[in-house]
Structure 1
Amino acid sequence: MGPAAMTIIELAQLYVSSRVISDGHKQHILRVARRFQIATGVGSIEEITSQHLAVFVAWLNTVTGNVNTKVNYLDHVRLLLRYAARCGLIDKVPVFPEIRRARRVPRAWTLEEFKRLYDVANQLPGRVGVQLARIWWPSLIATAYHTASRIGALLSTTWSDIDCTKGLIVIRAESQKTKREQIFQLPEYVLKKILAMQWPERKLIWEWPHCRRYFFTKFRQILRQSQLEPPADARFSLFHKIRRTAASIAAMTSGIPAAQTLLGHASARVTIEHYIDPHAIGLSVNLPSLE
């Protein structure tokens, strides 16, 4: 089969096989490609025109009202077609529809709310695998808070990544979205909980015995018990909200540069626009009263 006959699904498969990206990201790219082909019915990637992109947008309008989801799907199609152009598989990338992403203000929990979540986690019954849930969950939640790390990076952390004597934990570059390694000093109370899970011997610290979807289902239940459950359609309002909470509290207590360093961002703009809750640090402009 020549390059001209390549479908967008085959292009997506080629792209993900040539990149070091997470399994979740790979699956999302393949899902976008499948939905694009279903929506447009286009055969070869060389046949894709701006009209096909407009048809795809019309299809997206029937399945979601979230403008950011539409932009995300178009961005991934653009990513694939730019890759095809660099590889010489197509002559040029067609003109894409212009849809503006909705910029929402980041939302974080207050310290009091987060303490309530931590307290509930400390009283959970049952087990996670062989570990007590009242140890497994609060140790993970507290580590996420003190490191502002993403859940994928934490769940892939191994016992070799932690220095139990010095209380240091390494978040490996391979598990980070930024591909930058970070080292954090864990407070004694967090380290104590982690050390309570050393038995039985295993590779991962927070070994999760179920599927990823059930992790978020269970965490939502914990949020419900803490009276912090977000709406069903709220994105990045589950475990990722811990990252925003840590960043917002860091900005409030130590300034924006400290929050930027905690998150591992190269740009303060990304930190402010996507992670700092303005309510937490008073970013609003106070104009003089007219009375």
Structure 2
Amino acid sequence: MGYTGKAVLAHFGAYRPDQITTSLCRKYVTNRTADGKSQGTIHTELGHLRSAMRFAVKERIIDKAPSIERPAKPTPKERYLEKEEIAALIDAASAPHIALAIHLLFATAGRIGAVLDLTWERVDFQRGIINLRLDDSNTRKGRAIVPMNSGIRAALQTAHDAALSDYVVEYAGGKVKNIRKGFEAACRRAELDGVTLHTIRHSSAVAMVSNGVPLEKVAQYLGHSNVAITYQTYARFAPDHLQDAAEILDFVQIREA
């Protein structure tokens, strides 16, 4: 909210909620598009404005929320990385905390917020698990408890031996708030285009599903509370997905029989 609010307030800040119109929203879309912002970014920014207005109604700050017109949500990108590309991305990271964050993102299939919030007390080397959950967390996004593989265990052990703070991903002895610049620089050095931080989580899910991990397990690993979301997004990557249905529609076998 704080990040997108900078752009939203520059355009809407001088208006009362009841003065926000469809034409004003469309002008915002035109201006942000001219600034080179993607349709997805603009959709998110106006969505945050809509959420703020609805919150204001709920808190009785205003009587009525204005209608916020947004551009259509773009079709999700299908970009995902193979294991070799993930390894190249880690190697291309110029700072240890960026490399560790990328490794954790792939190994846990977690979101960046969960990885940057991770503290050593929730890394259990004896049991071999990583707990991405926060006991007092108010986040809407699900977080999971996942096992360590040998690669991330070794990376975590190295980081733990040199730790200067309670946070797993740290810089200069403090918590890291954002790795976007370092991540984008690593992508450029690894010559990977169209890759975002969320691409890594998506890549983790695709890797599990395409190698035959049941979708119910993948849902648990991703922290999805509703397995239907996992099926909707990742079922098509399963090696045998719909194969039985395709066999039923094979008329050549019928003729030969």
> 5 Å matches for 1:1-291?
25-28=1-4, 30-37=5-12, 41-42=14-15, 44-64=16-36, 66-97=38-69, 99-118=71-90, 120=91, 128=95, 133=96, 139-173=100-134, 177-178=139-140, 180-197=142-159, 198-209=161-172, 215-227=179-191, 229-230=192-193, 234=194, 237-252=195-210, 253-268=212-227, 270-271=229-230, 276=234
TM-score (norm 1): 0.67
Aligned-pair identity in percent equals 20
Contact between 1:148 and 1:242, CA under 8 Å: does it hold in 2?
yes
Distance in 1 separating the partners of 2:215 and 2:117: 28
Contact between 1:144 and 1:154, CA under 8 Å: does it hold in 2?
yes
Say which SS state the counterpart of residue 170 (structure 2) adopts.
coil
Gap change, CA 1:90 and 1:217, over 3 Å in 2? closer
Contact between 1:149 and 1:243, CA under 8 Å: does it hold in 2?
yes
Greater mean alpha carbon deviation, residues 165-174 or residues 203-212: 203-212
Gap change, CA 1:273 and 1:66, over 3 Å in 2? farther
Cα-Cα RMSD: 3.6
Stretches of structure 1 lacking an aligned partner (at least 5 in a row):
1-24
Contact between 1:106 and 1:273, CA under 8 Å: does it hold in 2?
no
Stretches of structure 2 lacking an aligned partner (at least 5 in a row):
252-257
Aligned residues: 243
4+ runs of 1 displaced by more than 6 Å? 282-289
Residue 31 of structure 1: how far off its partner (Å): 1.8
TM-score (norm 2): 0.74
Residue 280 of structure 1: how far off its partner (Å): 7.5
Residue 185 of structure 1: how far off its partner (Å): 1.5
Residue 245 of structure 1: how far off its partner (Å): 0.9
Residue 259 of structure 1: how far off its partner (Å): 2.2
